[in-house]
Amino acid sequence: MTKPEPGKLMRPQRKLRDGIHVPKVTLAHGGGGKAMRDLIDDVFVSVFDNPVLAPLEDQARVSLSELALHGDRLAFTSDSFVVDPLEFPGGDIGKLAICGTVNDLAVGGAKPLFLSCSAIIEEGVAVALLRKLARSMAEAAAAAGVAIVTGDTKVVGHGACDKLFINTSGVGVIRAGVDLGAHRAETGDAILVNGLLGDHGAAILVARGDLHLETPIESDCAALNGLIDTLLDACPEVKFIRDATRGGIATVLNEIAEASGVGIEIDERAVPLRDEVKGFCEILGLDPLYLANEGKIVLVAPAALAEKARAALASHPLGRDAAIVGHVTAGPAGRVVMQTKFGGKRVVDMLVGEQLPRIC
C-alpha cells in the first residue's frame, strides 16, 4: 500500500501532501449504480475471474450432475470475518475468509467447490487496500481449488463499520460413504490434532500492538482440504473432524464430549505447542487450549487406527506436527479433563467469557 495503483475508474478523493492521489471508497460505491459496478469490476471481478462468476447474474448456476461427480450430499456453510487488524503476520482478512469457509466445508468431508464473497466496506477505505485483499482472496481460493462465484458489496458511512467485514459462504459436495459427526465418539477412541496450537490467536493479539511484545509467531491460517483428503483417503473410518478456531481446541473437545455423551482426557505433554506460544501464554496468563487456530483440526478416530491417522496427517506439510493428544473416556458425560505435566488433573471447561474479541 505504499504507492497507490492507478484507480481505473475511481476519482481521487484526497490529495496527499506529496501530490499522490489516493482513491478511497465513497458512499457512491454502495449505491447500486455505475460507481458500484466499477468498484466491483475493478477490485473483485478482475481477480476472481472464472466462468461461473462472469455473467454476474444475481446467482451463480452450476449443474447438479456435475456436482454429483464429487459425492452424494451438498454441504453449505457461511462465516463472517471481522478480524482486527485486517493484515497480520501469516495472513490477512482475505486469506482468512477463504481458508475459514474452505475448512468449514472440508471438516464435514466435503470437497469445497464454490464460494461467495460479500464485503461490507467503510467509507474512506483505500481502494488499493481492497485490491490487495481481493488479490489475497483470489490467491487463497486458487490454492485451495475453489472458485468465487457470487458476491455482494455494501458501503456504509464513516464509523458505521470498522474498515472491512467479509462474509464468505460456501458449497461443496460430501464424498459418498463419509459420515462425520460430533455425536460419534465412543469410549477408547483417540483424539488427534494436526499440529502446533494457538499460533493464530497469538499472532493476532501481537499484531494489534497493544501488548508491546515482539514475537516471530505467524498465524497458521491455511486451507486444510488437501490435508483432510489425505487423511480420509488413508483412514475413511475417522469419526469426526472440526477446525479449532474461536475458543480453541478446548471448545471443540467440550462439544464432542457433550454431543457424544462421553468424557475426554487429554495429556498436557502430548499437546503440540510452539515454545514462543508457550512463553506468550505464560506472560499473559492465557491458556493455549483456548487460543484460536485457523489451520488446525481436532479429530476423533477409532483407537486401533489412531497411529494410522497420525501418520497420514504427518505425511502432509500441514500435518507435520500431528499428535495423538488424548482419548475418549466413559465419562462423566460432557467432562473434558487434562492430565497435567505435573501429574495432576484439571477440568478443561468450555470458554465462558471472551478471550480475544475479533480474532477471526
Give 32 or 344: the residue with its C-beta nearer to a second copy: 32
The C-alpha atoms of residue 339 and residue 235 are separated, in whole angstroms, by: 28
The C-alpha atoms of residue 313 and residue 230 are separated, in whole angstroms, by: 7
Does the protein bind a second copy through residue 80 (CB under 8 A)?
yes
Q: Report 101-160 residues binding a second copy (CB under 8 A).
A: 104-105, 107-108, 110, 114, 116-120, 149-152, 154-157, 159-160
Does the protein bind a second copy through residue 79 (CB under 8 A)?
yes
From the list 67, 86, 102, 249, which residue makes contact with a second copy (rule: CB under 8 A)?
67
Closest contact distance (angstroms) between CB of 355 and a second copy is: 6
Give 160 or 283: the residue with its C-beta nearer to a second copy: 160
User: Which stretch, 77-85, 189-197, 225-233, 319-327, contacts a second copy (CB under 8 A)?
Assistant: 77-85
Q: Report 161-200 residues binding a second copy (CB under 8 A).
A: 161-162, 165, 167, 169, 171-174, 180-183
The torsion angles phi and psi of 226, rounded to 5 degrees, stand at -65, -45
Does the protein bind a second copy through residue 333 (CB under 8 A)?
no
> Would you list the DSSP string of 115-139?
EEEEEEEETT-BHHHHHHHHHHHHH
Q: Report 284-313 residues binding a second copy (CB under 8 A).
A: 290, 292
The single residue listed with the C-alpha cell 444475481 is: 58
Does the protein bind a second copy through residue 280 (CB under 8 A)?
no
The C-alpha atoms of residue 239 and residue 237 are separated, in whole angstroms, by: 6
From the list 1, 20, 27, 284, which residue makes contact with a second copy (rule: CB under 8 A)?
27
From the list 65, 209, 210, 216, which residue makes contact with a second copy (rule: CB under 8 A)?
65
Q: What type of residue sits at position 171?
A: V
Using CB under 8 A as the binding criterion, the count of chain residues that bind a second copy stands at 90
Give 120 or 190: the residue with its C-beta nearer to a second copy: 120
From the list 3, 17, 58, 275, which residue makes contact with a second copy (rule: CB under 8 A)?
58
From the list 245, 260, 293, 329, which residue makes contact with a second copy (rule: CB under 8 A)?
245
Give 188 or 334: the residue with its C-beta nearer to a second copy: 334
- Cα within 13 Å of Cα(343), Cβ side: 0
Does the protein bind a second copy through residue 243 (CB under 8 A)?
yes
The C-alpha atoms of residue 9 and residue 41 are separated, in whole angstroms, by: 9
Neighbouring-strand partners of residue 80: 167
Closest contact distance (angstroms) between CB of 306 and a second copy is: 23
Sort 184 into a burial class: Cβ within 10 Å, 0-12 / 13-18 / 19+.
Answer: middle
Neighbouring-strand partners of residue 193: 298, 323
C-alpha distance from residue 287 to each of 69, 245, 264, 282 (Å): 44, 14, 18, 8
From the list 76, 278, 320, 333, which residue makes contact with a second copy (rule: CB under 8 A)?
76
CB of 257 within 8 A of CB of 335?
yes
Does the protein bind a second copy through residue 229 (CB under 8 A)?
no
Please give the DSSP secondary-structure letter assigned to residue 184: G
Is the bond preceding 85 in cis, omega lying within 30 degrees of 0? yes
Does the protein bind a second copy through residue 73 (CB under 8 A)?
yes
Give 38 or 279: the residue with its C-beta nearer to a second copy: 38
Pairing of strands 110-122, 147-156: parallel
From the list 18, 64, 342, 347, which residue makes contact with a second copy (rule: CB under 8 A)?
64
Give 33 or 317: the residue with its C-beta nearer to a second copy: 33
